[in-house]
Amino acid sequence: MSRLIDAVERRPQTAFAAFLVLHAAVWTALPAILYLNLPLDLIEALTYGREWQLGYDKLPPLPWWTVEVVYRVFGVDTAFYALAQIVVVIAFIAVWRTARPLVGSLGALVAILIVDGMHYFNFTAAKFNHDVIQLPFWALAGFAFHAALKRGGLRYWILLGAALGCALWAKYFVVVLIAPLALFMLFDRDARNRLASPGPWVAAAVALVIMAPHLVWLVQNDFLPFHYAEARALPARGPFDHVLRPVQFLGGQFFFILPALLIAAPLFLPPSKNKSAPSATADAFDRRIVTLLAFGPTLAVFALALATGRGTVTMWGYPLWLFLGLWIVLFAQVALDRARLVRIGALWAVVFAILAIAFVADYTVLPRIDHRYRSAFYPGSALAAAVTQRFESATGRKPAYVIASMWNGGNIAHYSGVHPQPRVLIDGLPRRAPWIDLTDLRANGAILVWTDGDLDALPESFAALAPGAEVGARFGLPFRRGEMVLRVGWAVLRPQAE
């Protein structure tokens, strides 16, 4: 341990690089080994991403496009888990770059170790989705905002605009980042001076130019994805919800950041003998900026919940705490002596190990106990093989279309082995997949699959779309692990030529 701490103190940048390698390697390997089926978010990404639309009925397209690109380049599922860790690593590097001028390389390393204690960056980041892809853009926006205000270079304002513009393509949640930044520019006495320079306006222009294609799509499609967001946020049931729901959100976030606070605890222990606090390199303006980055977006969510009384989702916290570690190190103002480093390093290692062990247990030990549904054990490949074989036996050709739920259809398309993969008409509803040409679908036929309701009769939406589909005998498939069995109803819509 003594030699390790010596190495960290001498070369904190090398230690940071080693941390990034370890983090990425562990959290790429664990899901690659333990996920026997792609999780829901990745199946969804593959279902939507291949259609290359400017917008979809649920969320912005960037993460789905990214997954599709990775699939076409690498063609293996492990690449998706590596992708998730690549974006986490980029976010960590941006935070590190922000922290170094303020707390030094060693302090920046400690800031990263603190936030790594949150599951957002490891345990749940394995399921690459809209929450995960926000991380690098929010971190880059924070870096650029601080650098632009302190150094004034136009390149930082351009980077800020680009980060915010791309963040909209990742998730609309970026509004709770943009609002605090804009208010800070208006009300902070030092930041307000920058409004007289072209920088902030250049940033706004760059962001709008990047956002423009999707904004136009939103207007043309009556802001379709917002209906999905509205459905997820529970409406207020009365005045009490205006207090209860924002408090519930903060309570959930506090629970998730507890491991990070544990790692940071040694910063608040009494100093060692002959050790004084380091000379401050950050001024009051730096501290105000970091405080804004650490807490501004969270307070924006709190204010929205307070004003509307609508329900929040705890997992919205993914990008909110990227700069919490830097804020703690900056305001602790203690010397990072060896004793503190040993304690911080040991606590980080314990939290890291616990998260990794919990991940392993969740997919090896707990399934024998709780029998909970886990998408990672779904028999996607077996389902794809079964229905592909049935369609081929009935028609003499591979399926070009699947009519099914996003989850069932996405699994069939991904694991079918058919090239090109079958396209999915989600839920049998053309409005959910307007890119599907129904004339071409009927000409080529389709396999219809459902796993709910009466498995011996077509679901209502399927029957309306494919009234001539021939229903086959139901069958069952065991999950990849555990005792659950998937019950499947299916039908064949023969090609129109027949």
Q: How many angstroms from the chain centroid is the CA of residue 181?
A: 22
364, two tokens = 């090896």
Q: What is the mean pLDDT of residues 458-484?
A: 93
Cβ atoms of residues 379 and 37 within 8 Å:
yes
Condensed to tens digits (0 to 9), the pLDDT of residues 399-427 reads: 999 999 999 999 999 999 888 899 999 99
Distance, CA of 367 to CA of 134 (rounded, Å):
31
**Helical (H) or strand (E) element with 22:** helix 12-34
**Do strands 423-426 and 475-478 pair parallel, antiparallel, or not at all (unpaired)?**
unpaired
Helix, strand, coil share of the chain (percent; to 5): 65, 5, 30
Confidence band (pLDDT; 50, 70, 90) for 334? confident
- Beta bridge partners, 401, equal 423
What does the domain layout of the chain look like in residue ranges? 2-366, 378-493
CB atoms within 10 A of CB 325: 29
User: What pLDDT, on a 0 to 100 scale, did the predictor assign at position 212?
Assistant: 98
CB atoms within 10 A of CB 212: 11
Residues of the chain with pLDDT > 90: what percent?
82
Q: Which amino acid is at 142?
A: G
φ and ψ at residue 235, rounded to 5 degrees: -70, 155
Q: Which amino acid is at 178?
A: I
> For the chain, what is the mean pLDDT?
93
Condensed to tens digits (0 to 9), the pLDDT of residues 239-279 reads: 888 888 899 999 999 999 999 999 999 999 876 554 545 54
Helix 62-74 to helix 130-151 angle, to the nearest 10 degrees? 110
Cβ atoms of residues 194 and 187 within 8 Å:
no
Instruction: Check residue 76 and report its DSSP letter.
Output: S
Residue corresponding to tokens 């956002």 = 211
Provide the residue count of the chain: 498
Condensed to tens digits (0 to 9), the pLDDT of residues 7-31 reads: 777 888 999 999 999 999 999 999 9
Cβ atoms of residues 256 and 314 within 8 Å:
yes
User: What pLDDT, on a 0 to 100 scale, did the predictor assign at position 274?
Assistant: 47
Counting Cα atoms < 13 Å in the Cβ hemisphere of 179 gives 15
- Beta bridge partners, 478, equal 485
Distance, CA of 404 to CA of 424 (rounded, Å):
7
Confidence band (pLDDT; 50, 70, 90) for 497? low
Residue corresponding to tokens 């390698």 = 21
Distance, CA of 381 to CA of 442 (rounded, Å):
25
Peptide bond into 61 cis (omega under 30): no
